[in-house]
Amino acid sequence: MNALQREKLRSWWQGRILRDVSMADYSTLRAGGRADCLIDVTSLEELTALIKWLAAEGVAYYVVGRGSNILVAEQGYSGVVIRLQGDITAITPLPPSKTGEQVVRVGAGCSMAALVSWCTERGVSGLEFMTGIPGSVGGAVWMNAGAWGYAIGDRLKKIVLVDAAGCCRDVASSRLVLSYRKLGWQDGSLEKTIIVSADFLLFDDERSQISCRCREYLEQRRGKQPKGVASAGSFFKNPPDDSAGRLIDAAGLKGASEGGAMVSPVHANFIVNTGGATAADIIRLMQLIQKKVYGKFGINLEPEVKILQG
Ligand SMILES: Cc1cc2nc3c(=O)[nH]c(=O)nc-3n(C[C@H](O)[C@H](O)[C@H](O)COP(=O)(O)OP(=O)(O)OC[C@H]3O[C@@H](n4cnc5c(N)ncnc54)[C@H](O)[C@@H]3O)c2cc1C
């Protein structure tokens, strides 16, 4: 993004623009380079107008949720980082269908924790397994996040997205290709598309039962993950029929560090920021892990965390 584009954006956009933003403040790893601009959009109309403008001006953009699975490289991001707020965080139960389906429409900017609490309070079941997974609904759908053998894509009925041209589309889940930590689309590329809302197919249950399941999931999670440290959760995807954590541990890397980044002694697939880690430290540690695991087992570990550069 050049100085002229920045100036044009400043005079065109009515809302607030944060300039030269440290993305460490927007990532649960508490590390990352700087972004040229950060804009919060609060409605679908604002979002489509912004994407059309950015596309026409040839300015790069990247949508983030709660930053629990991203790392912006040290050199930073020359473009606009977009966050979804306001109307794009609403939770709306749709009228029951004749077949008794319970569909809930959720804005992509809504936090997963807020959605799980909403469901628990209203006796709506189906997303308990997401308890304790930080992030937004949009981020969870984009990553097809999940745990305990379930993934959020299993509950999807439809998504609404804004494509790279700023046009809004409805996509039924039957047209989506949902795989391990990945969302795809049968009808084309999802590159540069932004999820605006997701419809989930859920069902009624006793509040006490739902809340009991949520508590159990949370307790199991607490027993397995490092506490009180900055991380992005599991850093690598599990290779087929194996676990990245097991491989990293077996390569003797628990506790290995680069600068302020360390392989958690509690869970080897967590890279934690012990304080003051830079994105470069984290990427160096990531590469060390990949090299050692490849050297010992011949397996290429693919990061689950999205690394943003450029
Ligand atoms: C302690 C901890 C535990 C975790 N445990 C789990 C777990 O058990 N299971 C699991 O699957 N994950 C886990 N994660 C990873 C992470 O929480 C999930 O991937 C989460 O769903 C990401 O959501 P986010 O809003 O933070 O996305 P971000 O990190 O902000 O973004 C992740 C990706 O999604 C894209 N994205 C975000 N919003 C949108 C949107 N509206 N439209 C299009 N693309 C979008 C971003 O561009 C980026 O590519 C964990 C993370 C932490 C820190």
From CA 151, how far away is CA 145, in angstroms rounded? 6
| Pocket around ligand 1 at a 6 A CB cut-off | 28, 62-70, 84, 108, 133-136, 138-140, 142-143, 145-147, 194-195, 225, 231-233, 306
Atom of ligand 1 minimally distant from the CA of 109: 41
Tally of CA atoms within 13 A in the half-sphere of 36 that contains its CB: 19
Q: Are residues 298 and 254 in the same domain?
A: yes
pLDDT band, residue 100 (cuts 50/70/90): low
CB contact at 8 A, 189 and 195: no
The H helix count followed by the E strand count for the chain is 7, 20
With a cut of 70, say whether residue 165 has pLDDT above it: yes
Boundary (domain end) residue, out of 86, 117, 132: 86
Q: Are residues 74 and 191 in the same domain?
A: no
Q: Are residues 171 and 272 in the same domain?
A: no
Domain that holds residue 301: 227-308
Distance 236 CA to ligand 1 centre (A): 13
The count of domains in the chain is 3
Q: CATH number of the domain that 56 lies in? A: 3.30.43.10
Q: Are residues 103 and 140 in the same domain?
A: yes
For the annotated catalytic residues, the residue numbers are 181, 234, 304
Q: Are residues 147 and 234 in the same domain?
A: no
pLDDT digit string, tens, across residues 271-297: 999 999 999 999 999 999 999 999 999
Distance 241 CA to ligand 1 centre (A): 23
Q: Are residues 7 and 55 in the same domain?
A: yes
Q: Which two tokens stand for residue 74?
A: 């040290």
Boundary (domain end) residue, out of 203, 223, 243: 223
Q: Which two tokens stand for residue 115?
A: 């959605």
Q: Are residues 244 and 172 in the same domain?
A: no
pLDDT digit string, tens, across residues 36-93: 999 999 999 999 999 999 999 999 999 999 999 999 999 999 999 999 999 999 999 9
Q: Taking the model in full, what pTM does it have? A: 0.96
Q: Are residues 76 and 112 in the same domain?
A: no
Q: Are residues 192 and 148 in the same domain?
A: yes
Q: Are residues 188 and 108 in the same domain?
A: yes
